[in-house]
Chain A
Amino acid sequence: GESVGLHLPTLSVQEGDNSIINCAYSNSASDYFIWYKQESGKGPQFIIDIRSNMDKRQGQRVTVLLNKTVKHLSLQIAATQPGDSAVYFCAEPSWGQGAQKLVFGQGTRLTINP
């Protein structure tokens, strides 16, 4: 079955620096991944997604890279801001009757230091 995992549970970076959060997956047939941001006391919020026919996808200050050879994806946040402090999850959807069922990784807590 699907499983996603993260290399590090915590990450601290200086405000203005770039951050990279990593995620590994085990199923070589996996074809779609989503990154979520969860702020304290809130539910997860969609950041960006990527399909397996892409190696890279960019959003506003965020880039996701997918390496299918080693089954690894990363989330890069440029010029980090205090508001980027949160827990970040990679998630892999499966499908049931057309509904998206998410399998979440453990999460990485990102702390932005002033």
Chain B
Amino acid sequence: NAGVTQTPKFQVLKTGQSMTLQCAQDMNHEYMSWYRQDPGMGLRLIHYSVGAGITDQGEVPNGYNVSRSTTEDFPLRLLSAAPSQTSVYFCASSSGGSQHFGDGTRLSIL
């Protein structure tokens, strides 16, 4: 049982480039979320989804897009990367109880 899988684990982008961070879960969870974690800080919610076709904004949504076409997948898109988006990104899923987190994508924007 893989749980929550995030790819890639590391990525370096140039300012202005676009990229999609992938997240997949195999637990048939209806809820999925994206968080970012900056150095020395806790995680902050970017976007979340309560089921296929339904998404909503979290605390820090600007600069990010999401979609949820299937229960399993919840990709996060950066349309035009900025240095302020350098961070570690975590995806999580749950069925209404505690959230299960992936191991993160470390993203650097130069």
Contact B41 A44 (CB under 8 A): no
Size class of A's contact patch? 20 to 34
Chain B residues within CB distance 8 Å of chain A: 4, 31, 33, 35, 40-45, 48-50, 54, 56, 58-59, 90, 92, 94, 96, 98-104
Query: SS class of chain B's interface: helix, strand, loop or mixed?
Result: strand
Q: How far is the CB of B3 from chain A (nearest CB, A)?
A: 10
Q: CA A49 – CA B94 in complex, angstroms?
A: 15
Quick check: B42 and A89 within 8 Å, CB to CB?
Answer: yes
Say yes or no: B103 contacts A102, CB within 8 Å: no
Cβ of B36 to closest chain A Cβ, rounded Å: 11
Asked if residues A105 and B48 are in contact (CB atoms below 8 Å), the reply is no
Chain A interfacial positions (CB closer than 8 Å to B): 9, 34, 41-46, 49, 89, 91, 96-107
- Distance between A110 CB and nearest chain B CB, rounded to angstroms: 15
Note all chain A residues with C-beta closer than 8 A to B50: 96-99
Q: Of B4, B45, B96, B104, which is within 8 A of A98 by CB?
A: B96
Give 5 closest A-B pairs by Cβ, nearest first: A104-B42, A43-B101, A46-B98, A99-B31, A97-B50
